[in-house]
Amino acid sequence: MSKLRLLGGAARNLWRWLRAASGDDAYERYVAHTSQAHPARPVLSARAFYDERQRRKWSGINRCC
């Protein structure tokens, strides 16, 4: 039983890492940050945030040979 729970915990950690590393949870993080740090500021929609994130990501050098 405890082994199963351990395995489940490891899988959850891996999933969390994968989501963070790939940017899958970027919107959730952004919403959490904005609502906590700047409650007065309007929050972008998921699509607007995705657009802006991609535009910023690809306006500099971030892929190599």
Partner 1 sequence: MLATIGALALCVIGVHRHEPINALWILTAAVCVYLLGYRFYGAWIAARVLSVDATRATPAERNENGRDFVPTHRWIVFGHHFAAIAGPGPLVGPTLAAQFGYLPGTLWILAGAVLGGCVQDMTILLLSTRRNGSSLGQMARDELGPVGGIAALTGTFAIMVILIAVLGLVVVNAMKHSPWATSTVLSTIPVALFIGLYLRIVRPGRVIEGSLLGAALVLLGVIAGGWVNQSPTLRPLFDHPGLPLAGCVIAYGWIAAILPVWLLLAPRDYLSTFLKLGTVIALAIAIVIMHPLIKMPALTQFTDGSGPLFGGKVFPFVFITIACGSVSGFHALIASGTTPKLISSEGDVRLVGYGAMALEALVAIMAMIAATLLDPGVFFAINVGTGIAGAAPDAAAATISSWGFPVTVQEMQALARQMGESSLFARTGGAPSLAVGMASIFGTTFGRGLASLWYHFAIMFEAVFILTTVDAGTRVARFMLQDLLGQLWRPMARTSWYPAVLSSSALVVAAWGYFLYIGVIDPNGGVNILWPLFGIANQMLAAIALSIATGILVKARPPRYALVTALPLAWLTIVTTTAAWQKIVSTDARVGFFAAARDLAGQLASGKLSPDRAAVAPQLIFNQRLDGWLTLFFAGLLWLVIADTARLSIRRLRGLPTPRGSENPYRPSRFQAGES
User: Which residues in this chain contact partner 1 in the complex, by CB under 8 A?
Assistant: 17-24, 26-27, 29-30, 33-34, 37, 45-47, 49-65
Supply the minimum distance, in Å, between the C-beta of residue 1 and partner 1: 29
DSSP at 60: S
Angle at Cα 44 formed by Cα 38 and Cα 40, nearest 5°?
Answer: 25
Q: What is d(CA 4, CA 64) in angstroms, rounded to the nearest whole number? A: 41
Supply the minimum distance, in Å, between the C-beta of residue 45 and partner 1: 8
For partner 1, the closer CB: 2 or 59: 59
CA atoms 31, 25, 59, 62: torsion sign: positive
Supply the minimum distance, in Å, between the C-beta of residue 12 and partner 1: 15
